[in-house]
């Protein structure tokens, strides 16, 4: 079971005014209790600019993926037969790859890496990894709170490797409990996987529902190496 950190002293508004980009507030800190409190209220952090203060975002609309709605194309299904999916065996490597400064629009700095590694050690942050010939070739990381998986970033060095991680995560989260994958913003690329946009109000309603779900057994498994459930 994850370890609950001390509660944050910061107050997250329930009726926040949101600008057109989804920005709600600026400041606060990245302590574990602050981050978990933010996700439980529908917010997530990103720097306003490189090295600058953190903004707290709650977009309207919000990009989400219902695990059962994950779309796996024929080509992706074929690709997944080449991969092995592992959970939480290389969290630091995954976040480091996602933070590669050579990537365009990079926003993951050392402050984010330290903060989410702390959450990983406490049992809240997870990596879903794609391996080929015992080499890490793709993956994603995010925060799991009840039935919410807040996907933060993904990377790949082989075709379809990051998509395979998303597909494995979605399949692994399907059970008898309400669950949702938050991807923050819908893009055309994510839409091909089944991601849709919902209003901020709808998202907060879904959030209150899924937070009541128990932790996912897929993310709590003792054996970290798993074959993709959709391969």
Quote the pLDDT of residue 187. Answer: 92
**Residue 47 counted as domain residue:** no
Is a pLDDT exceeding 70 seen at residue 227?
no
Q: What DSSP element (H or E) covers 197? A: strand 196-198
> Average pLDDT for residues 17-43, to the nearest whole number?
90
Instruction: Look at 18-22, 23-27, 86-90 and tell me which has the smallest mean pLDDT.
Output: 18-22
Is a pLDDT exceeding 90 seen at residue 48?
no
CB 55 within 8 A of CB 46: yes
- Could you tell me the residue range of the domain that residue 90 belongs to? 62-226
Quote the pLDDT of residue 225. Answer: 52
For residue 107, count other CB atoms closer than 10 A to its CB. Answer: 16
Higher pLDDT, 89 or 230: 89
Q: Which two tokens stand for residue 3?
A: 């370890």
**Residue 177 counted as domain residue:** yes
CATH number at residue 71: 3.40.630.70
**Residue 121 counted as domain residue:** yes
Label the pairing between strands 148-156 and 180-184. Answer: parallel
Distance between CA atoms of 138 and 86, rounded to whole angstroms? 11
Label the pairing between strands 84-87 and 44-47. Answer: unpaired
- Band of pLDDT at residue 55, cut at 50, 70 and 90: very high
**Residue 37 counted as domain residue:** no
* Domains held by the chain: number: 1
**Residue 108 counted as domain residue:** yes
How confident is the model over 68-83, as pLDDT tens digits?
A: 999 999 999 999 999 9
**Residue 57 counted as domain residue:** no
Is a pLDDT exceeding 70 seen at residue 16?
no
Quote the pLDDT of residue 19. Answer: 72
**Residue 109 counted as domain residue:** yes
- Band of pLDDT at residue 214, cut at 50, 70 and 90: very high
- Band of pLDDT at residue 22, cut at 50, 70 and 90: confident
Distance between CA atoms of 204 and 199, rounded to whole angstroms? 9
Is a pLDDT exceeding 80 seen at residue 105?
no
| Candidate ranges 21-25, 101-105, 124-128; pick with highest mean pLDDT | 124-128
Nearest Cα neighbor of 204 from 67, 23, 55, 14 is: 14
DSSP label of 181: E
**Residue 88 counted as domain residue:** yes
Distance between CA atoms of 92 and 98, rounded to whole angstroms? 10
Mean pLDDT computed over every residue of the chain: 91
Nearest Cα neighbor of 195 from 142, 159, 151 is: 151
Quote the pLDDT of residue 20. Answer: 75
Quote the pLDDT of residue 231. Answer: 45
């Amino acid at each position: 079971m994850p370890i609950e950190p001390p509660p944050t002293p910061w107050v997250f508004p329930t009726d926040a005014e949101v600008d057109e980009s989804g920005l709600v507030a600026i400041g606060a800190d990245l302590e574990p209790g602050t981050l978990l409190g933010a996700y439980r209220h529908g917010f997530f952090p990103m720097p306003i600019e490189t090295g600058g203060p953190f903004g707290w975002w709650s977009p309207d609309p919000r990009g989400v993926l219902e695990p059962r709605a994950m779309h796996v194309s024929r080509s992706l299904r074929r690709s997944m037969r080449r991969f092995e999916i592992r959970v939480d065996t290389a969290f630091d490597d995954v976040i480091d790859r996602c933070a590669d400064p050579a990537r365009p629009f990079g926003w993951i700095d050392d402050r984010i890496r330290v903060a989410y590694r702390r959450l990983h050690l406490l049992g809240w942050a997870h990596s879903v990894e794609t391996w080929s010939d015992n080499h890490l070739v793709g993956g994603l990381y995010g925060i799991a709170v009840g039935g919410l998986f807040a996907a933060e970033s993904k990377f790949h060095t082989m075709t379809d490797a990051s998509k395979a991680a998303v597909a494995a995560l979605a399949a692994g989260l399907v059970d008898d409990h309400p669950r949702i994958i938050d991807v923050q913003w819908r893009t055309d690329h994510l839409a091909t996987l089944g991601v849709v946009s919902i209003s901020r109000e709808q998202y907060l309603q879904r959030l209150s529902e899924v937070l009541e779900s128990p932790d996912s057994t897929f993310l709590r498994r003792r054996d970290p190496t798993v074959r993709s459930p959709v391969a």
